[in-house]
Every structure is written in C-alpha cells, then in structure tokens.
Amino acid sequence: MKRGKLLVVPAMGWLSLFFALPLLIVVVVSFASRTAYGQVVFNWTLANYIRFFEPLYMTIFATTIVTALGTTLLTFAMGYPVAYTIAMILPKKWQQAGIILVMIPFWINFLIRSFAWVIILRSQGVVNTILLHLGLIQKPLTLLYNDAAVLLGMVYALLPFMVLPIYVSLEQMDKRLLEAASDLGAPPVTAFRRITLPLTMPGVAAGSILVFISSLGMFVVPDIMGGAKSALIGNIIQNQFLAARDWPFGSALSIILALLALVMILLYYKALQAQKGGQAHAKNLA
Amino acid sequence: MEFKANDRKKGCDTPKMKEMIRLVGITKEFDHTTIIPPLDLTINDGEFVTLLGPSGCGKTTILRMIAGLEHPTTGHIYLDDEDVTSLAPYKRNVNMVFQHYALFPHMTVEENIRFGLMMKKVPREEQDNRINQVLYLTQLEDLRYRKPQQMSGGQQQRVAIARAVVNNPKVLLLDEPLGALDYKLRKKMQLELKNLQRGLGITFIYVTHDQEEALTMSDRVIIVNGGRIEQDDPPARIYQYPKSQFAANFIGENNFFAIEGDDQHLLAVRPQYIEVSDEKEEPEDSSRAPFYYGSVVEILFTGTIDKVYIRLDNTNQMVTAYQYYDDKKRWKADDRVAIRWKTEDAVKVTK
Amino acid sequence: MQKTWRSATLAAYTLAILAFLYLPLLILTLYSFNDSRINAVWTGFTLKWYASLMTNDRVLEALTNSLIVASITTVVSTVMGTFAALALHRYQYRCRTFLNSLLYLPILIPEIVMGLSLLILFSQTGVPLGKPTLIIAHITFCLSFVIITVGARLEGSRDDLEEAAGDLYATPWQAFRYITLPMILPGIIAGALMAFTLSIDDFVISFFVAGPDSTTLPLYIYAMVKRGISPQINALSTCMMTVTVSLVVISQLLQMKSYHASRKD
C-alpha cells in the first residue's frame, strides 16, 4: 500500500546527488585554496571570503547590486501597467493570450535576445545606419559595451519575470472590492492606490525577487552587451572557472551569491507568511 | 417516473430479516483525534437506512468505512457475514454514489456505467444487456453518448446512480447524493430513489443532513452526533418520541422546559401541541396543570401557519407556538397569554 | 469619458512595451534574410544564410547534440518527475520541508551556481565532460519544472474520481491507468514539452558542463557571437526562436485546454 511512497525516490535521489551534493562540494571548495596550476588544495582557509572584501571586488559587487536594483525598478515601472492592462482592461477571453504574448520572449534564450540588441545597437547596426542615413549624425554613436547597454539588456531579458506574478495577483483579486470602493465614494485613482496596489503587493514582491535574483547571477547579458568595465559578479565567477582557474575563489563568490538569493527568498517567504498569518488571525477573531 | 421492479424481491416488510451489514466496536481516529467512539450498528437486507446528522458528525466517515475508503482504527465490519474490515474497496460488493457524483469527465455516460463491469471482467454481451437495462431504468437512454459536463445536475445524478446499481451491489451507499440539486429537483429525486430502492430491493445506506429527506425516504433513521448514535428508530417514532434533546431539536421544531428536581431530563413539546389562551381565561380542564404566563413577542407568517413567539415571564425563555388560519383568536404582539399542553404530548428527553 | 481615456493610455503603453519586447526579435529575423554581410543596410532578400547553415558541419553536429541531449533529458525527467509528482500529491511525508527544498531550490538558485557546482562535482570525481555530464545537468534542472507542472495538474484534479474507480472494482493500478493517467496526461505532455524547451535552449549550465565533443546549438551560437557578427548567427537564431516559440505555444494551448476541461465539471 505504502510502496507508492517510494516513487519520489528516483527524482529526489537524483536532486540530492546532482543538486544538493554539488552545492555542498562548492561550500567545501570555497574554504580551499589552489596551486599555481589551478589544482584545488583543501586547507580550510577563509582567504577566499576575505579576498571578496578587496576594493576591486567590492566595487563589482556594488555595481552588481545597483544594476540589479535598477533592473528591478525599471521592470516594475514598465511591467505593472502592462500586467494591469492585461488583467483589468483586456476582455476576459483575450487575457490568456495577452499574458502568453508577454511570456513568449522569456522562453527565447538570453543569448539570442541579447544578440538581437547587438544587431540594433552596434556601430554598423540598425540605429546608427538609420541616423547616418538621415544625416543626424556624422559618425556612429557608441551605443553598446557600456553600463546603460547592460541595464537595457537586463530589463529586456527580465521584464516578463515581473509581469507574470503581478498579472496573477491582479487576476486573482476580487474585482467586487473596486465596486465597493467606488460605491463608498473612492475615485478610480484612489481606489487603485488604496485597494488594488496594496492587494497586489505580494505579486510585486514576487516579481521583484525574481528579477533581482536573476540579475544578480546574470553573466550572459554583460558578457555580450557590456564593455570591459561593466563586468558583474556573474562574469567574475565565470572568469574564475574558465580563465583564471581559481575555483576556490569562484566558489566563495558563488556561495555569497547563492546566500544573497536565499536570504531574499526567505525574507519574501516570511513576509508572505506574516500576511497569511494576519489573515488567519483575523478569521479567528471573527 | 416509475421504476420497473427487478427480479429481486423487496424484503423490508418481513419481520425477521437477514443481516446485511454489522459494525462491531468500530472506532476511528484521525491524527489522534477520535472521530468515532466505539460504535455498533446492524443493518438488514433490503432496508433503507439513513444516517442523519449535522456536518462533521461522522456519518460520512461511517459510510466510507463500509465502502472501504477508510479503515476503522479498531473493530470489525461484516458484509453479508463476511469480515471485510481490511478488504480494499475494489474487492467489496458495495457501491457508492458520491457526494459530487465523481463521474469520470473523460468518459461518456455509457463508458462511466460500463467501467465497473469492465473491471469485474463481466462478459461483453452481459455488460451491454445490463447497461441497456439500467439506462432504461434511469431514463438515460438518449444521453448515453454524452459526456458528464454536457449534462444537467439531475442527469449527472442519475448517471452516478446508474453507474453504481449496474453492478448489482449488495449494498448501495449514498453520500448526500441530492445535496447539489435545487429544491424541486431534490423532491422529485427523493421519490425516484425511494421507488428505485423498492424496485431493486437492495439495501440502501443514505447519508444526509436534511431531516425532511431522512423522514420521507427511510425505513429507519439513525441520528448521529459526535460519532455516536443518538437514536435509531423508524421515522415516525423518531419524530414523535425523540430520546435526547439533540434528536428532538434536530428533527422538526421543539420547545424545551426544565423539569423541577430533575437535572438529567427536559420536557420537549412541539409547537403544534402548545395551546395558547388569554391569560385571564380560566382553563377548561385544570388538570392540565403545567402552564406558564408570558407575552407575545412576534407573529411570523410562514404560509400554512403563523408562528407565534412568546416570551415567558419568569424565565425569559422563548416559546414557539402555531396559530392556524381558521383559529378564532388572532394574537398580536404584546398580548398577555397563558400556555399549556396535554401531558401525553410532552416527551421526556435526556439533556 | 475619463475612463476610456485612461484605458486608451494604458493600452497604448502596453502596445509600446510589447513592441519593445518583439521589435528586436523581428529585426533579428528580418536581417537573417538580408543579403549584406557586414552592415545593416538592406541590400536584398536572400536565403543563402540558411542554405549555408545546412552545409555547415559544425552546425549540424551541434543540432544533433542538442536533439540527443534534449530527447534523453525529456524522457528521463518526465518519467521521474511524474512519479515524484504523483507520490508528493498522494502521500504525507515527514521530511516534507526537505523534499520541498530539494524541489524548489534548483529553480530559485542562480543558474550559474548550479552550473559551476556540477562542474566541480564532475571534475572532483574525475568524470570527463561530455554528453553524459550535459544530460545529467539538464535532467537536474528540468526535474523541478516537470514535478511542478504535473503537480499543478494533479492539484486541479479531483481526488474522489480514483475513489470512485476503486469503488467500481478497479485495482489501484487500474484506477491509475484508466482514470488518473488520462486526466493528468495534458500536464505530463506540458511538462515534457517544457523540459524539451528548457534543455534545447539552455546556455548557462551547458556552458560549464559541456565537453569538446558536446557543443549544443546555444553554445555554438555563443562561440559565433564571440568571434564576430555574421548573418549566419541571425539565421541560426531565427531557427531556434521558431522552434522555441512553437513548443511554448503548443504547451500553453495544451495547459489551457486541460484547464478549461477540468473547470467544467
């Protein structure tokens, strides 16, 4: 009868072996050091974590955080009205199609999507060609390989991540609340500010977390659209593994990255529980 | 509609009947909470038995244990003298009509009905015969190629019944089968079900929280409260002689009066037995002693009768009485009244 | 009046954002048909970049690799994922928190971390990088998606149907075979399509664990992009986009269809 319980074993065993175990090894390696040839030596040192605090890496870390925050804010500003339009203004039967339309680019991989911008922005690209032809500029503008290009690429890559959770929370919201607000004399803008926005905050939070975490670990966009100075922490990690062959330092950096991501998720989860707990408490009182 | 009588004969009139189901010392715990304290129950062949009680009283759990969908923590279940306590549902010759029908949405009516026969490996030809018979019986012949979601609630209900009875079960279990239907359809289906049970002669165990449904359809009503059997009697007896305050309250309306010097019992008097008179009027028969004074608080029109609510002077208790459209005296709010009843109309019930 | 004005503004804004999302992809597609090799000036329609893909052995090899890896990944992760989703739906587990962490963390943790952790695992255990390591990595990140997709389908399905089947003499296996499986099949297919799409599209994780003999299409595109702009990349990217978009649309349609079917009853 309970033999069925064992059906989780293959999948969970697989994830333990190829997800949890490698993560543990990364933790171990992050306390190791390396030989001149890149060999890992297990000598339990904090050197890799201490090195993270060197000005060079702190600057990159700060740039990464600022870029991630900027991406989150921009995707929110761009994404909320889109989610709102699809969930609240579009006729019911078109909503599903609308959200799929927003989500499709998300499935196309970052590489191709970043490359599309290279075609548009490079010096012989679409924009420069048009501007030159119109005689608005005399020589091509440098639109690529700077921080702005990276930010553009990140926003472009991650916008669907913001729209989807906000759309879901708007869609699930009881629309009668707005009728009630209107009945109680709230003009539409007030109703939006006092009712819709607070109620869809969980969606906004989920979207922000998704976008923020994804931007933290992103290395494809800066790799393709960014210049030498716009490296983010993801590029540094990539570099430790493929060029510098300093795996212990790369491991320490990725542990810091993963912890940052986990802390964000945990905070979000706690906030969500607190909200749910509040609701349950209210129910008990009623 | 009329159901054709099957070849099995109805058996519920014969005085000494064959035992069909026996529950012995059944208990059920979920997560260390006792849902059913030790319970014994015997149900005879061909009986229409209703388990009646409020939601969460354990009636559905009892039904699901008979079906084999739950297993009792202790105790034994016998089906036709065979111990089936730990037998899986698919090995028991009982069938269930589920609360929300549980029709297979990807199958047509006919495929739904055929499912049980197919699982039992009944020969194809016999399958077809039995399906045709039961489709005729439940008036579903025109709908046999429909899918459940293309049908009304009443039609789906019929499919659920057909799918169960086509297997000729020894016992048919029905878990609030009419709960999802509207009032009129429910009344109609009650009659159909009763006729079907008479026609097939199968034992029906019916679970409901609707007292009216229980009284109309059953040979025996079992009132369940907190997993315990409060009372187990034929409908008329249940109505006239409730044993406990719970039973008296659950079936119909009742007024309860304290008995002096007896903490264990109450007197239950139904509203139609409460006589109301002007407080100054002398009682014709002073032997009908127990009477109280009070004032009329409110009169509610309910169609055939008016309900008169009276607040008693000394206890502030509210008493409900009826007044009929042809009563000479019409009461109005704030009238001073006296109430009394015939001794034989009061039933002593446990608290 | 004010309301229509507001709706119109929002609609216009949304259209602008959609244009922002799709215009680069359209331009990429358009330029895959442009005759000019070096710049963005339109010099005429051509299919020669597509033709050159067909004769490029490296591209064909990458395509073969991608298809092999994606197919094996899809089969293995769908089977294991479906089993796990069924068990997680049906049974109570005391170590539920642990199982949930194992299930959701692979999705939440930055891809780059998963990629390098697998690289370290393989190199420390002396497993040479190649198709097997690539397949293992792909199965690892697809599993959670399959379990969650099939699980969502199970969540929406009704528990009483299997009970009803049991009541009608179906053994647990028959109840699964005739009732549960047909009901969750759309979810399984959607999960499989998702696994296939994720696998064929993956770059970050493959970047770490692929060996010299196991270059996939995204890895090949990356190498081309790094080497310099060539219209061949446009053509290859367009092909990949077409495949991805078709797979996503099919899977969405399937999920929508099954969602509506389950809503009706």
Report the 10 Å Cβ neighbour count for A71.
30
Show Cβ contacts of residue B309 under 8 Å, excluding neighbours closer than 6 positions.
B296, B297, B298, B299, B300, B318, B319, B320
**Whether B263 and B153 share a structural domain:** no
CA distances from C173 to A4, C25, C80, C99, C177 (A): 11, 48, 18, 25, 6
CATH value at residue A99 = 1.10.3720.10
**Whether B263 and B297 share a structural domain:** yes
ipTM score: 0.88
Distance from CA of C10 to the nearest CA of A (A): 6
Which tokens belong to C226?
């790094």
**Whether B241 and B155 share a structural domain:** yes
**Whether B231 and B272 share a structural domain:** no
Which residue segment(s) compose the domain that C109 sits in? 46-264
Residue A35 lies in a domain: no
Given a cut of 70, whether residue B174 has pLDDT beyond it is yes
CA distances from B115 to B103, B164, C209 (A): 11, 10, 50
Going by the DSSP 8-state scheme, the letter that residue A46 receives in this structure is: S
Number of folded domains that form chain A = 1
**Whether B235 and B260 share a structural domain:** no
Give A-chain residues touching C81 at CB under 8 angstroms. 11
C residues 174..233 contacting A (CB < 8 A): 197, 201-204, 207-208, 218, 221-222, 225, 229, 233
Which tokens belong to A242?
């493929």
Residue A1 lies in a domain: no
- CB contact under 8 Å between B103 and C265, yes or no, is yes
How far, in Å, CA of C39 to CA of C43, rounded?
Answer: 10
Which tokens belong to B240?
């006239």
- Which range among A68-72, A188-192, B91-95 shows the weakest confidence by mean pLDDT? A188-192
Distance from CA of C3 to the nearest CA of A (A): 9
Number of folded domains that form chain C = 1
Residue A49 lies in a domain: no
Positive or negative, the CA dihedral A128, A132, A134, A138 is: positive
Residue A190 lies in a domain: yes
Please tell me whether residue A187 adopts helix, strand or coil conformation.
coil
Q: Which of C161, C170, C182 sits opposite B102 (nearest CB)?
A: C161
How far, in Å, CA of B282 to CA of B279, rounded?
Answer: 8
Residue C21 lies in a domain: no
- Position C143 scores a pLDDT of 96
Task: Compute CA A15 distance to the chain's CA centroid, rounded to the nearest angstrom.
Answer: 23
How far, in Å, CA of C265 to CA of C255, rounded?
Answer: 16
How far, in Å, CA of C256 to CA of C11, rounded?
Answer: 24
Average pLDDT, chain C: 88
* Shortest CA distance from C171: residue in chain A: A1
For chain C, strand residue ranges (E) read none
Strands B347-350 and B74-79: unpaired
* Shortest CA distance from B152: residue in chain C: C265
- Name the band, by pLDDT with cuts 50, 70 and 90, for residue B325: confident
Number of folded domains that form chain B = 2
Q: Which of C41, C88, C113 sits opposite A257 (nearest CB)?
A: C113
- Name the band, by pLDDT with cuts 50, 70 and 90, for residue A281: low
**Whether B238 and B283 share a structural domain:** no
Q: Which of C6, C120, C208 sits opposite A25 (nearest CB)?
A: C120
Q: The whole model's pTM is what?
A: 0.80
Give C-chain residues touching A109 at CB under 8 angstroms. 201-203, 218, 240, 244
Residue C40 lies in a domain: no
How far, in Å, CA of C207 to CA of C192, rounded?
Answer: 23
Report the 10 Å Cβ neighbour count for C73.
27
User: Which of C153, C167, C184 to mutate to probe the B interface, most B CBs <10 Å?
Assistant: C167
CATH value at residue B259 = 2.40.50.140
Tens of pLDDT, residue by residue over B235-265, are 999 999 999 999 998 888 899 998 888 889 9
Give A-chain residues touching C108 at CB under 8 angstroms. 213, 261-262, 265
CATH value at residue C230 = 1.10.3720.10
**Whether B38 and B161 share a structural domain:** yes
Residue C118 lies in a domain: yes
User: Which of C153, C158, C162, C169 to mutate to probe the B interface, most B CBs <10 Å?
Assistant: C169
For chain A, how big is the Rg over CA atoms in Å?
Answer: 24
Question: Mean pLDDT across the stretch A44-58?
Answer: 91
Positive or negative, the CA dihedral C117, A57, A75, A265 is: positive
- Which range among A267-281, B40-54, C202-216 shows the weakest confidence by mean pLDDT? A267-281
C residues 92..111 contacting A (CB < 8 A): 93, 99, 102-103, 105-106, 108-111
Task: Compute CA C12 distance to the chain's CA centroid, rounded to the nearest angstrom.
Answer: 31
Residue C54 lies in a domain: yes
Residue A30 lies in a domain: no
- CB contact under 8 Å between A116 and C140, yes or no, is no
- CB contact under 8 Å between C167 and B95, yes or no, is yes
- Position C39 scores a pLDDT of 66
- Position B6 scores a pLDDT of 45
Distance from CA of A100 to the nearest CA of C (A): 8
Give the helix/strand (H/E) hosting B230. strand B228-233
- CB contact under 8 Å between C143 and A15, yes or no, is yes
CA distances from A23 to A10, A169, A268, B272 (A): 19, 33, 23, 78
Given a cut of 70, whether residue C141 has pLDDT beyond it is yes
Select from B217, B246, B275 the last residue of a domain: B246
Instruction: Put residue B23 in one of left, alpha, beta given phi > 0 → left and psi -120 to 50 → alpha.
Output: beta
Across the beta sheet with B262-269, the strand order is B255-259, B262-269, B347-350
Question: Mean pLDDT across the stretch B266-286?
Answer: 82
Report the 10 Å Cβ neighbour count for A245.
17
Distance from CA of C65 to the nearest CA of A (A): 17
Which residue segment(s) compose the domain that B166 sits in? 4-246
Average pLDDT, chain B: 87
Q: Which residues of B touch C (CB under 8 A)?
A: 67-69, 88-91, 94-96, 98-100, 102-106, 115-116, 119-120, 148-149, 163-164, 167
**Whether B210 and B294 share a structural domain:** no
Residue A2 lies in a domain: no
- Written as one string, the DSSP assignment of C177-204 is IIIIHHHHHHHHHHHHHHHHHHHHH--H
**Whether B95 and B237 share a structural domain:** yes
Residue C22 lies in a domain: no
CATH value at residue B131 = 3.40.50.300
How far, in Å, CA of B174 to CA of C78, rounded?
Answer: 39
Residue C259 lies in a domain: yes
Residue A202 lies in a domain: yes
* Shortest CA distance from C174: residue in chain B: B119
φ, ψ of residue B74 in degrees (nearest 5): -140, 170
- Asked if C19 has any chain A CB less than 8 Å from its own CB, the reply is no
Across the beta sheet with B48-52, the strand order is B94-97, B171-175, B203-208, B48-52, B220-225, B228-233
Question: Mean pLDDT across the stretch A51-71?
Answer: 93
Which tokens belong to B258?
């304290």
**Whether B239 and B289 share a structural domain:** no
Which residue segment(s) compose the domain that A248 sits in? 62-285
Residue in the structure block whose two tokens are 């109570």:
C92
- Position C259 scores a pLDDT of 54
Give B-chain residues touching C263 at CB under 8 angstroms. none
Show Cβ contacts of residue C61 under 8 Å, excluding neighbours closer than 6 positions.
C215
Tens of pLDDT, residue by residue over C162-221, are 889 999 999 988 998 999 998 888 889 989 998 999 999 899 999 999 988 899 999 999
Question: Mean pLDDT across the stretch B27-51?
Answer: 92
Average pLDDT, chain A: 88
- Give the up-direction half-sphere exposure of residue A272: CA atoms within 13 A in the CB hemisphere: 13
Question: Mean pLDDT across the stretch A38-67?
Answer: 90
**Whether B237 and B263 share a structural domain:** no
Q: Which of A16, A112, A234 sits opposite C240 (nearest CB)?
A: A112
How far, in Å, CA of C218 to CA of A107, rounded?
Answer: 13
Give the helix/strand (H/E) hosting B27. strand B19-30
Tens of pLDDT, residue by residue over B61-87, are 999 999 998 899 999 999 999 999 988
**Whether B210 and B292 share a structural domain:** no
- CB contact under 8 Å between C111 and A126, yes or no, is no
